[in-house]
């Protein structure tokens, strides 16, 4: 069932992206966000909304599940553009991607959030990155953050699942205990089940040991965007 769901989501996402690209060719990130939201957000969001979280689909759900679309989506997109640029400037090692109206941020072992082998405690290297991230997230309070943990395929699957959970929770707990509203955060974990790189190489395994953030508009931002859109 999970495999079939993934296939459905990928197919719907592909259709929505193709259609939106036809609609907003040569558009900037904000315009692309509005187009994707208007065309595919309601369908994709409806599927993903019930399949996100522990044992659910993926961090893709956090990024696409709350799409507003239309003019309001474009307004949200402009705000997300600024936040994404800020993350790229202040955390140059992170992989930052604008997806629709939201932001996906990936930290692997080379980009600022690193855990000692088999450990989940925040070490000094990771703390420096999280301090900068906390400041940025604090300057953009009208967002919610989904934190997702992943591992490579070394070791037992059950162990890796627990380790990814512990690491994602460590990141969330650090941010929550350093001035950010705990209600903004949700945590997911997938162990070794969602690799992005080849686990047969040391480089691939290193990149698969990662923490991802999905940054989405909260209800306040959505409401304000809808109200602003009605005035246009």
| Residue 228 CA: distances (Å) to CA of 6, 21, 222 | 35, 25, 10
Residues 6+ apart with CB under 8 A from 131: 178
- Distance, in Å, from the CA atom of 159 to the CA atom of 191, rounded to the nearest integer, reads 8
Cut 0.85: pTM above it: no
What order of strands is seen across the sheet that includes strand 143-149?
95-99, 102-107, 211-217, 143-149, 185-189
Residue found under tokens 């993903």: 48
Closest CA relative to residue 99, chosen from 230, 190, 218, 217: 217
What's the rounded Cα separation, in Å, for the pair 18 and 191? 31
Give residue 28's pLDDT.
42
Give the model's pLDDT for residue 4: 41
Residue numbers in the chain where pLDDT is lower than 50: 1-58
Instruction: Spell out the domain ranges in the chain.
Output: 2-230
What is the predicted pLDDT for the residue at 66?
63
Q: Quickly name the fold that domain 2-230 has.
A: 60s Ribosomal Protein L30; Chain: A; (3.30.1330)
């Amino acid at each position: 069932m999970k495999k079939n769901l993934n296939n459905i989501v990928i197919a719907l996402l592909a259709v929505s992206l193709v259609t939106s690209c036809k609609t907003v060719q040569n558009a900037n990130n904000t315009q692309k966000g509005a187009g994707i939201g208007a065309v595919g957000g309601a369908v994709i969001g409806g599927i993903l909304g019930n399949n996100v979280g522990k044992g659910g689909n993926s961090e893709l759900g956090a990024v696409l599940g709350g799409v507003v679309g239309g003019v309001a989506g474009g307004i949200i997109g402009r705000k997300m553009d600024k936040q994404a640029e800020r993350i790229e400037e202040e955390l140059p090692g992170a992989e930052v991607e604008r997806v629709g109206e939201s932001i996906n941020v990936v930290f692997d072992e080379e980009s600022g959030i690193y855990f000692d082998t088999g450990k989940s405690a925040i070490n000094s290297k990771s703390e420096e990155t999280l301090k900068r991230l906390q400041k940025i997230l604090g300057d953009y309070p009208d967002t919610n953050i989904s934190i997702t943990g992943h591992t490579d395929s070394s070791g037992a699957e059950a162990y890796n699942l627990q380790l990814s959970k512990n690491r994602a929770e460590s990141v969330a707990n650090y941010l929550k205990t350093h001035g950010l509203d705990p209600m903004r955060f949700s945590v997911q974990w997938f162990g070794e089940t969602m690799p992005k790189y080849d686990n047969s190489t040391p480089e691939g395994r290193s990149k698969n040991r990662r923490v991802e953030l999905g940054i989405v508009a909260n209800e306040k931002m959505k409401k304000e965007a809808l109200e602003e859109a009605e005035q246009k």
